[in-house]
Structure 1
Amino acid sequence: MQKRTLSFWEIWNMSFGFLGIQFGFALQNANTSRIFETLGASVEDIPILWIAAPVTGLVVQPIIGYFSDRTWTRLGRRRPYFLIGAILSSLALFVMPNSPSLWVAAGTLWIMDASINISMEPFRAFVGDNLPERQRTLGFSMQSFFIGIGAVVGSLLPYMFTNWFGVSNTAPEGIIPDSVKWSFYVGGVVFLLAVLWTVIKSREYSPAELAAFDKADKDLQTARVEIVDKTKNIKLQFTVGLSMAIIGALVSAYIYLNNYTKELYILFVGLIVAGILFVIVSQLRKREIRNGFTIIVTDMLNMPRAMKQLAWVQFFSWFALFSMWIYTTQAVTGHVFGTHDTTSEVYNDAADWVTVMFTVYNGVAAAVAFLLPVLARRTSNKFTHMLALTAGGLGLISIYFLSDKIGLLMAMVGVGIAWASILSIPYAMLSGSLPSSKMGYYMGVFNFFIVIPQIVAATILGFLVKEFFNNEPVYALIIGGCAMILSGILTLRVQTQRKINISEQ
């Protein structure tokens, strides 16, 4: 048995929901720092307020992936999660710009990001489920196209409302401008309608059909033969977990004794918690206790080799992206235009221009989404990804040297090329190594390497900017640019192969 080759429009329909998801995600990325700062957050506090998003993804994505692998309803396997996440996300988008205080906005961001993750995580597995391997690069590129289009319009909305429809982009101190409010309202409606289109227009293979496809796949059958020795694997899990907990405890003590910024605790306390979970699960496995909790934690240890190598690529590229999302507004308003007064016209015009910059990089991503697979066929996925990430890194670094609006837009061209590649090529490199029975789960775990660098960025960038760069956020963008170039170099060492270590079946 082989999966049916889908038409262009069938792939279009199954990817269309990403238009709405990215519409909401772009509004969040481009405007959250502005909302926080308007509600009274200082520059050094903004990264820690952003921590809600990656922490939520870290928890939600593998759980949603695990359960979506095991779901089958009248709506299918993945589509129920698309719909539930879309409804919750739309509601959060209506609430966010009406937050009466900073803590309400931070809490709403937490809810919004959890809801977006519920919709977004199964979409990656959706491509692996429905498309034969020869069409997966096209499938992920189609998602990248809709991500680009959704982000272009979503990022541009505040600017459009102000300059096209005369909606005010200024407001009294502590009040979110009307241009931002109406952008979020439109985003909530578009999010829900786009996801509904995919839910209604797409179909899914049943679990029995997917199992039959895997059974007919000789490569995956060969991969399944290699079962990790359980006793050895349990010992490794205990050792890794104990080491993580000890390292986290020692570094946390060092932070306390030296009175470093409290945000650093989040990263290393998280390491302690992860280590303790590994230790607990290793002991449960010794007692032959097997449930969703033990499977979720254990399979993190036994990732495919390509996934482990791609983890470093994802880590540094998403660290760079998160530095951009957190600090571009502050870098442009302060370093390029010379103001931090959130009530001034200069500040708000500069902040609006950041939404245009984000529009450009997303527009470039949409434009090149279908060109990257062509380059990859002529060279390789690894070379294409390296080239794209290098362009993005140079674009971020160049912001330090720019002093005009047009130059800032040109810097975003490189970022857009990198963004298109980040959204498609790593998933295409990975998907062929995953069995359908674990597709959702491993796609969720793969997103750890999107989430963890965001937590790292949120915990250390504020510290670095404050302690070493005199509260000048533009230096965070330089750090991010260097990280993105490093991720491109690391891509060259990835060895994609269809070999899966499975500790327990």
Structure 2
Amino acid sequence: MTREKPRQGFWGLWNISFGFFGIQIGFALQNANVSRIFQSLGTSVDDLAFLWIAAPLTGLLVQPVIGHYSDRTWGRLGRRRPYFLGGAVLATIALLGMPNAPVLWVAAALLWMLDGSLNVAMEPFRAFVGDMLGSRQRTAGYAFQTGFIGAGAVIGSLAPLILTDIFHVANTAAGGGIPPSVRYGFYLGAAALFCAVLWTVLTTKEYSPDEMAAFEQDDGAVEAGPAIAAPAGSGARLAPVWIALGAIVIAAVARFGLDKPVYLLGAGLIAFGIALLVSAALVRSGRESNVLSQIVGDLASMPQTMKRLALVQFFTWSALFIMWIYTTPIVTQRAFGTTDTASAAYNDGANWVGVLFAVYNGVATVWAFVMPWLAGRIGRRNAHILGLLSGAAGFGSFLVLRDPHALIGSMVLIGIAWSSILTMPYAMLSNALPQAKLGVYMGLFNIFIVLPQLIVSSVMGQVMRTVFPGDPVWAMLIAAGVMGVAALAMLRVPRDA
């Protein structure tokens, strides 16, 4: 016998998603300040994309594995909450350490730790909403989560500016190091992250495996696959193709003198091909229950709606990652007239980037509560297309706007897109997935978020150095075009998804 999950009231929705508020403070501090930290430690703008490669690479590796294990975990804290808590502890340590990094390699290593631990904490939250809410309440649930993401990002993005303007914390450091305003912002963010995640851990109670089995029919998994992945042996046929593509990329780097980070792209393709071969060998030997084969099998058996949304995500997150990397050098150069990272003008411009990031996240918070109404009238698919087109317009406007206050309008448009990106794909996806594999599929869905970021990190430095040397604003033209392609790709997603 199946039964519907109880509807959650306001405070139930609040408790389920409040931890994401703290996680997003951590991500916002990272997004708005890591380029600033790297440049303060002596990195040139052309090398920023490579140093940012930690973020997508850790997400690519961590999220599917965490999703796989969280689907199979059950203990005193449930199945998702142990991962929230463990990730929060590690992220707190990384946030305390990063602004005190004495040299560049230490800062880069702490970025890997920070992003990996944030991914450990974040991935189960997406599945957690699906676990706790019935299919009819999921759009509201993910919108509520988006509201907390936006609010946390506003606080994280504005932290150095607030500390400078209100509490008069110094915004420059002797010798051009990391300013005190950034250091104290990271300390406050660490405390907020840990406390917010702990709130969700202590105020929620997960449904037991027996209760989840009783609820499963109500979860709307119209394209649900098998509860246990089919053996992933067929992918071995494509393994030589991936290995060959990787070898071609590596050879092209050596032959044409391309940027060295592109080697990582070739290595990643080869590694994926090898993973397919290893998985197939394990299946043939009767050991199909191993983690690698299970994840590869799940990837091969994705529901059709997930495949189409994955393509949208690929283009969407390519554009977003370009923005996160290049907004600081664009704004400081064009709106504040400097590339000197030790100057007061540069640091004022970097603080203004925090304001701009706070604007788009604040707009996302407000728009999150408009989206359920909008989706109810024009459908989730069309609502998301509207959001993506808004983002494309916002990116494109950077090419014609130089006044720092005018860029607020650009960020309003991007905020509408950001709100939709954080809500609509997950609301559509959760209704196309089997409940028993919600965690691993949410983790696999993240591949199509981090893979484009990995590619951007590998090639954008070369593109900007070769095609647009010394003028990073043209990166926003690329972002606008890629976001427009994402909107077109949404046309392939069913209207009723």
| Match of residue 272, structure 2, among 267, 271, 274 | 274
Q: C-alpha offsets along residues 64-123 of structure 1, whole Å, 9 cap, x if unaligned?
A: 111110111111110111111111111110101000000000000000011101110000
Instruction: Classify the secondary structure of the residue corresponding to 1:173.
Output: helix
1: distance between equivalents of 2:495 and 2:117? 32
Check 1:245–1:191 CA distance in 2 against 1; reply closer, same or farther (3 A cut).
same
| Cross-structure match for 1:203 | 205
| Higher mean displacement: 465-474 or 130-139 | 465-474
1:242 Cα offset (Å): 2.0
| Match of residue 6, structure 1, among 5, 8, 27 | 8
| Cross-structure match for 2:414 | 415
Instruction: Classify the secondary structure of the residue corresponding to 1:41.
Output: coil
1: distance between equivalents of 2:31 and 2:223? 43
Check 1:218–1:409 CA distance in 2 against 1; reply closer, same or farther (3 A cut).
closer
Q: C-alpha offsets along residues 171-193 of structure 1, whole Å, 9 cap, x if unaligned?
A: 12342100000100000000000
- Within 5 A, what are the aligned runs for 1:309-328? 309-328=308-327
| Higher mean displacement: 462-471 or 216-225 | 216-225
Q: Is contact 2:135-2:220 (8 Å) kept?
A: no
Q: Is contact 1:320-1:483 (8 Å) kept?
A: yes
Which amino acid counterpart does residue 433 of structure 2 have in structure 1? L
| Cross-structure match for 1:96 | 98
| Cross-structure match for 2:361 | 362
1:338 Cα offset (Å): 2.2
2: distance between equivalents of 1:229 and 1:60? 22
| Cross-structure match for 1:502 | none
1:433 Cα offset (Å): 1.2
2: distance between equivalents of 1:480 and 1:307? 23
Would you say 1:163 and 2:195 are equivalent positions? no
1:463 Cα offset (Å): 0.8
Superposed CA RMSD: 1.8
Which amino acid counterpart does residue 259 of structure 1 have in structure 2? G
Would you say 1:39 and 2:38 are equivalent positions? no
2: distance between equivalents of 1:219 and 1:298? 22
| Cross-structure match for 1:240 | 238
Instruction: Classify the secondary structure of the residue corresponding to 2:296.
Output: helix
1: distance between equivalents of 2:72 and 2:229? 23
1: distance between equivalents of 2:451 and 2:153? 23
- Within 5 A, what are the aligned runs for 1:191-230? 191-214=193-216, 216-217=217-218, 220=221, 223-224=224-225
| Cross-structure match for 2:399 | 400
| Cross-structure match for 1:15 | 17
| Cross-structure match for 1:455 | 454
1: distance between equivalents of 2:83 and 2:488? 36
Which amino acid counterpart does residue 48 of structure 2 have in structure 1? I
Structure 1 runs, 4 residues or longer, greater than 4 Å off: 217-230
| Cross-structure match for 2:156 | 154
| Cross-structure match for 1:189 | 191
| Cross-structure match for 2:441 | 442
Q: C-alpha offsets along residues 141-182 of structure 1, whole Å, 9 cap, x if unaligned?
A: 000000000000110011111111111111123421000001
| Cross-structure match for 2:488 | 489
Q: Is contact 2:176-2:341 (8 Å) kept?
A: no
Check 1:219–1:195 CA distance in 2 against 1; reply closer, same or farther (3 A cut).
closer
1:250 Cα offset (Å): 1.6
1:224 Cα offset (Å): 4.5
2: distance between equivalents of 1:258 and 1:41? 24
Q: Is contact 1:309-1:495 (8 Å) kept?
A: no
2: distance between equivalents of 1:384 and 1:227? 33
Q: Is contact 2:390-2:417 (8 Å) kept?
A: yes
Q: Is contact 2:226-2:434 (8 Å) kept?
A: no
| Cross-structure match for 1:172 | 174
1:228 Cα offset (Å): 9.6
Instruction: Classify the secondary structure of the residue corresponding to 1:406.
Output: coil
TM-score, length-normalised on structure 1?
A: 0.95
Q: Is contact 2:57-2:454 (8 Å) kept?
A: yes
1:300 Cα offset (Å): 1.4
The gaps in structure 1 that reach 5 residues or longer are 499-505
Check 1:292–1:107 CA distance in 2 against 1; reply closer, same or farther (3 A cut).
same
| Match of residue 286, structure 1, among 284, 287, 300 | 284
Q: C-alpha offsets along residues 16-45 of structure 1, whole Å, 9 cap, x if unaligned?
A: 001100011000000000000000001111
Q: Is contact 1:285-1:294 (8 Å) kept?
A: yes
| Cross-structure match for 1:501 | none
Q: Is contact 1:95-1:108 (8 Å) kept?
A: yes
Check 1:218–1:47 CA distance in 2 against 1; reply closer, same or farther (3 A cut).
closer
1:477 Cα offset (Å): 1.5
- Within 5 A, what are the aligned runs for 1:43-192? 43-192=45-194
Which amino acid counterpart does residue 183 of structure 1 have in structure 2? G
| Cross-structure match for 2:471 | 472
1:286 Cα offset (Å): 2.2
2: distance between equivalents of 1:227 and 1:19? 33
2: distance between equivalents of 1:263 and 1:297? 26
Q: Is contact 1:433-1:497 (8 Å) kept?
A: no
Q: Say how many residue pairs are matched.
A: 494
